[in-house]
């Protein structure tokens, strides 16, 4: 049996007729740019996330770029972020002429370590003085430790932009007046950025993204920047770009959005099943395999909250990672590395002197981790196959 890393066909099948009808309607309407379908999706995503405003954009990357542009991030500014994420997090900062200041990750959650964030700013007072924003990433579908990061941002008087590209719907515990309040990814910072890349938990039939915010003035500015900075049409107060989401994507995403809670739950069920299967296979006790840790799992169970982790990826840490991947691929099992090269070691920033930087937790994660299939339609038999293949690999060593 082959087990793909992701099977979009399995998700499409039950929705296909509904999607074809909606797409046909858009085509027949001849409204191909913006319009009521995009506005409807924006309303529904805002409601789902518990925020006031949502701005549909052309991709997750453009969501990050537009949020930074609207907050006037530019040359001379510093943005605090993580070196262990998809390239777009750093790319959006660099494209505006600003400088990323990296904070190493927590090796358990793979998210920005708040204690080290404080330490990095304390150790670099000249950079801290230029700090313009903090951009944590909710990697793999689990929120970064937001409470201390939000406190730190408030202390420095800078906004937080959440890179929530992998985490739409994920919740995070924040303490408010002595009790825990769970908030959704994107709703905690000044702005939250989502991606609708097809492999994300909410994926379109092409590129798409969304920014959410509770700041009405910022939302208005982002809407203007989305259309070249023009308001009214052909009068430009600002220099924006073409960052629009198109209605074809909007109708597909609007059909999928109500299914997200079920899909998130199915991914968590699959994660639970991996936990049992890996335990039964004896792979955890020996320490050759470490499964992802749901940091907020216990608190969520206590509070009766569901989406503490939405497992956009199920990332395990293993011995002999590269040989294991070879073995899995030759056994017909999908596995990927997210991400093989930490951002400070990317060739495009070598000339900026980042090569001399050291982030041991990010560098180790890049060498020791791989993602296994976790998509909602994955069957128990497929998961057994995955675990059996991994067990066979370590037995043979």
Considering only 197, 243, 359, 393, the residue that binds ligand PLP (CB under 6 A) is 197
Contacts (CB under 6 A) with ligand PLP, residues 122-151: 137
Pick one of 81, 82, 85, 190: the residue that binds ligand PLP (CB under 6 A). Answer: 85
Q: Distance between CA 4 and CA 375 in Å, rounded?
A: 9
Say whether residue 201 binds ligand PLP (CB under 6 A): no
Q: Which of 38, 42, 59, 289 binds ligand PLP (CB under 6 A)?
A: 59
DSSP string, 313-328: SEEEEESSHHHHHHHH
Which of these, 390, 252, 373, lies nearest to 311 by C-alpha position?
373
Q: Which of 380, 364, 382 is nearest to 108 (CA)?
A: 364
Q: Are β-strands 289-290 and 314-318 bridged in parallel, bridged antiparallel, or unpaired?
A: antiparallel
The residue among 27, 57, 109 whose CA lies nearest residue 253 is 57
Asked if residue 213 lies in contact with residue 53, where contact means CB atoms within 8 angstroms, the answer is: yes
Binding mask 157-196 for ligand PLP (x = CB under 6 A): ------x-xx----------------------------x-
Nearest alpha carbon to residue 82 among 91, 90, 92: 90
- Residue 158 vs 343, nearer CB to ligand PLP: 343
The CB-of-15 to ligand PLP minimum distance in angstroms stands at 20
- What b/e readout covers 158-188, taking b as 16+ CB neighbours within 10 angstroms? bbbbbbbbbbbbbbbbeeeeeeeebbbbbbb
Cα 242 to Cα 34, 227, 230, 279, 329, distances in angstroms: 12, 5, 11, 50, 40
Pseudo-torsion of CA 74, 224, 194, 6, nearest 10°?
-110
Task: Verify binding: residue 207, ligand PLP, rule CB under 6 A.
Answer: yes
106 binds ligand PLP (CB under 6 A): no
- Smallest gap from Cβ 341 to ligand PLP, in A, equals 15
Of the residues 86, 102, 354, 393, which one makes contact with ligand PLP according to CB under 6 A = 86
Residue nearest ligand PLP by beta-carbon distance: 60
- The answer to whether residue 100 forms part of the interface with ligand PLP (CB under 6 A) is no
Contact call for residue 245 and ligand PLP (CB under 6 A): no
> 3-class SS at 148?
helix
Q: Report the distance separating Cα 10 and Cα 338, nearest Å.
A: 23
209 makes contact with ligand PLP (CB under 6 A): yes
Using CB under 6 A as the binding criterion, the count of chain residues that bind ligand PLP stands at: 15
Beta strands 78-81; 131-134: pairing state: parallel
**CB nearer ligand PLP, residue 89 or residue 383:** 89
User: In terms of CB distance, is 222 or 390 closer to ligand PLP?
Assistant: 222
The mark string for 3-42 relative to ligand PLP (x by CB under 6 A, - otherwise) is ----------------------------------------
Rule CB under 6 A: choose which of 11, 61, 201, 345 binds ligand PLP. Answer: 61
Q: Which residues bind ligand PLP (CB under 6 A)?
A: 59-61, 85-86, 88-89, 137, 163, 165-166, 195, 197, 207, 209
């Amino acid at each position: 049996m082959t087990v793909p890393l992701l099977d979009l066909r399995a998700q499409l099948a039950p929705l296909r007729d509904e999607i074809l009808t909606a797409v046909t309607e858009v085509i027949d309407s001849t409204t191909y740019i913006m319009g009521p379908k995009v506005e409807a999706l924006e309303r529904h995503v805002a409601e789902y996330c518990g925020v006031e405003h949502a701005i549909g954009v052309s991709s997750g990357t453009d969501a990050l770029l537009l949020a930074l542009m609207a907050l006037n991030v530019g040359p001379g500014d510093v943005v605090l972020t993580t070196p262990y994420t998809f390239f777009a997090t750093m790319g959006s900062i660099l494209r505006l002429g600003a400088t990323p200041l990296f904070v190493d990750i927590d090796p358990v959650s793979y998210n920005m370590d708040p204690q080290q964030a404080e330490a990095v700013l304390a150790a670099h007072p000249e950079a801290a003085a230029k700090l313009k924003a903090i951009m944590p990433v909710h990697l793999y579908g689990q929120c970064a430790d937001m409470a201390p990061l939000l406190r730190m941002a408030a202390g420095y008087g800078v906004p937080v932009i959440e890179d929530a590209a992998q985490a739409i719907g994920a919740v995070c515990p924040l303490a408010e007046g002595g009790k825990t309040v769970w908030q959704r990814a994107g709703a905690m910072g000044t702005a939250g950025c989502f991606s609708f890349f097809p492999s994300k938990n909410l994926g379109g039939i092409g590129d798409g993204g969304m920014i959410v915010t509770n700041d009405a003035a910022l939302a208005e500015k982002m809407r203007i920047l989305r259309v070249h900075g023009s308001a009214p049409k052909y009068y430009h107060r600002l220099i924006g770009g073409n960052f629009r989401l198109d209605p074809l994507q909007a109708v597909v995403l609007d059909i999928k959005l109500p299914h997200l809670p079920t899909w998130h739950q199915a991914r968590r069920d699959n994660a639970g099943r991996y936990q049992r299967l890996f335990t039964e296979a004896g792979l955890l006790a020996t320490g050759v395999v470490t499964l992802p840790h749901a940091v907020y799992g216990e608190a969520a169970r206590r509070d009766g909250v569901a989406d503490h982790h939405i497992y956009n990826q199920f990332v395990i840490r293993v011995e002999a990672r590269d040989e294991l991947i070879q073995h899995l691929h030759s056994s017909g099992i999908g596995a990927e590395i997210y991400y093989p090269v930490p951002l400070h070691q990317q060739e495009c920033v070598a000339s900026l002197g980042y090569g001399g930087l050291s982030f041991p937790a990010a560098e180790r994660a890049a060498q020791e981790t791989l993602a296994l299939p976790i998509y909602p339609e994955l069957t128990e038999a497929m998961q057994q196959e995955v675990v059996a293949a991994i067990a066979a690999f370590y037995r043979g060593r």
